[in-house]
Every structure is written in structure tokens, then in C-alpha cells.
Amino acid sequence: MNELLTAALDYARRGLAVLPLQPHGKAPCGHLVPHGVKNATTDPATIRDWWQRERRANIGLRTGRGLAVLDVDPRHGGDRALSAHLRTRGVRLAPTAEVATGGGGSHYYFAAPEHLRSARLPGGGLELKADGGYVVAPPSIHPTGQRYTWQNARDLKHLEPSRLPHWLSELAAPTTPTPAARGRALRHEDPLREIPAAEYVLALTGRTANRAGYVRCPLHKAGQERTPSLRLYDDAGWYCYGCHTGGDIFTLAALLRGLRPPLRGTDFLTVQAALREHFGPPPTTRASRAPQTAKSGA
Ligand SMILES: [Zn+2]
């Protein structure tokens, strides 16, 4: 029996969609799957038909929908880039299902969030294959003539992908908005977020910023630090270089109440209500109220 067909059917039985790739190659067999990875399937009849028509077709495994594969290509510095990423974060790659590609590279299989875009990762030679992607799977044959082989699992029966590490999904799909994007968002969100940091920090902590824009941080050293390390920013944000915490008015209010951001559900509503009570109605009214804060005759 055709070893490639057997493996393809085996992957399909495990819910992994496959597609035929060119023999000893990585590109889809255009005559069988004109739409490439979009034609990937778990249907055994279709799979049998494909491998009957192209017996030596390599196996493409569709990624995404819960499967992400980190593709490390040492020829483009992928091994060095991965080491650097791990070193700067002080982490190791959790043991997981791993394939040695016939070309000297590695594929690390991970259980991933349902929706994750494929992305090239910083550093070169590193790619996270997820939605819209595929990888060449064992026992396919690399253009060099070497087989793709599972490293620590005989086959998919023993394949147990670890969860995709957070730092990897962050690298692939950063969720931290750029300052510019944050600025844009600010103008459309809760008007509370437009209150200048100096104003809400004073209101919430009783502390005023020094000339450089720093206040003594209430969140570390039991709030008793001497040298101010909490910096206030013009976009109504703040960041403490002492305890490496930062955010906006909601984050600060939450932390001062002993709540862990990001706030959700009733916690958010409680903090929001307290802030509204404290700071009053939206900016138009606030602006007209502002002159009153100058003490007359004082
Ligand atoms: Zn701090």
C-alpha cells in the first residue's frame, strides 16, 4: 500500500485536512487542487482519488483552525533567530510534536487559538503557519531526497502538540496597539479616557507630577517610593518604570482598588461608575467647568 496515501488518510482521520503536493516538492499539485490549500480535505474518497492519480504526491497538512506550526529554516537564520527570541524572554520551547524537514529545518506543532493568522516572525527564517497556510508532513520527501520525519512521536497517534506559547502568538499577531493607534482609539472611546494623566493621577492618588512628568508610584514599595518612577504621558497614559506597570485611567483605578486589569464585566462597570462619579460628565461640560478650578481670590 502507498505509504503516502496511508499517512494522508491517517491525518484526515484525525481531523487534519490534507492536500497533494508535487512529488519531492512543496507546491500543490495544480491539476488536482487548482485552489491550493483551499481544496484541502478530510474526505477519504477524495484523498484516495488524489493519490491514485499522483502516487508520489507529497502531503500538505492544512494549518490554522487550532493548529499552528512554527517553521524554523536554518538556511535563513531561523535557528539563530529562535535562540535569540528564547534567550531574550528567558524561556525554553516546551516539548511538542516536532518534524525534521528533509532540508535541515524543523517544524514544531502547537495547539493554537481558533483564529490565528500565518505570519513571518522577526529575525528571519521563522514563520508561524496558521490560518491559510500548510506544511509538508511526514513521510513526504524533501527536494533534497530526505524524508520529513517525526522526531518525538512515531506518527500522529502519539502526536500531542503543546499549547502555543503566548510569546509566539504575540509575535505573530501583536495585540498591543501602536501609540498612534491608541491615540486614535482614545478619541472614540469613553471620554474618561481623554482626561489628562496629570489630572486623574492627582485625583486618584493625591500626587502631583514633577517637572519631568513623573509622580511617586502608589503601586510598588507599598506606595512609599522616594524617587518618582511613574511617568505620565500626553496620550492620557502612564507607565511606571519601577514596577513595569502601565495603562490608562481605568488601569490605574483598577490597580488602586486591588483589581487586576484588564477589567471585565461588573468589575469594569463598577470602576467606570466610580470614575464617572469622580470626574463628572463628558468633556464638553468639563471644559466649561474648568475655569472654576482656579480659586478666586486665593
Ligand atoms: Zn510602580
Put simply, whether the predicted model's pTM sits higher than 0.85 gets the answer: no
- Does residue 122 share a domain with residue 105? yes
Does any domain span residue 250?
Answer: yes
CB-CB contact of 201 with 215 (8 Å): yes
What the block records as the C-alpha cell of 133 is 497556510
The rounded Å distance from CA 8 to ligand 1 centre is 55
d(CA 145, CA 125): 21
Stretch 203-229: mean pLDDT: 90
- Does residue 220 share a domain with residue 166? no
CATH no. for residue 216? 3.90.580.10
The rounded Å distance from CA 165 to ligand 1 centre is 27
Does any domain span residue 53?
Answer: no
The rounded Å distance from CA 177 to ligand 1 centre is 22
Name the residue with cell 481605568.
Answer: 250
Does any domain span residue 100?
Answer: yes
| Residue 108 main-chain phi, psi, to 5 deg | -105, 125
Q: For residue 292, name the pLDDT band (cuts at 50, 70, 90).
A: very low
- Does residue 275 share a domain with residue 230? yes
The rounded Å distance from CA 171 to ligand 1 centre is 26
Strand pairing category for 214-215 and 245-247? unpaired
Least confident of 43-52, 98-107, 285-294: 285-294
Does any domain span residue 147?
Answer: no
Does any domain span residue 295?
Answer: no
Identify the helix (H) or strand (E) that includes residue 58: strand 58-62
Cis amide leading into 139 (omega within 30):
yes
* Higher-confidence position of 137 and 211: 137
Does any domain span residue 25?
Answer: no
CB-CB contact of 151 with 98 (8 Å): yes
Query: What pLDDT does 140 receive?
Result: 97
Distance of CA 40 to the CA centre of its chain: 25
Does any domain span residue 254?
Answer: yes
The rounded Å distance from CA 252 to ligand 1 centre is 11
Name the residue with cell 507599598.
Answer: 222
Q: What is the pLDDT of residues 173-210, one digit of tens each?
A: 755 444 444 444 444 457 888 888 999 999 999 999 89
Tell me how long the chain is: 298
Does any domain span residue 193?
Answer: yes
Query: What pLDDT does 137 receive?
Result: 96
The rounded Å distance from CA 7 to ligand 1 centre is 55
The rounded Å distance from CA 187 to ligand 1 centre is 27
The rounded Å distance from CA 233 to ligand 1 centre is 15
- Does residue 280 share a domain with residue 259? yes
d(CA 137, CA 196): 54
Q: What is the pLDDT of residues 108-133, one digit of tens each?
A: 998 887 778 888 888 889 999 998 89
Q: Domain of 165?
A: 65-128+160-173
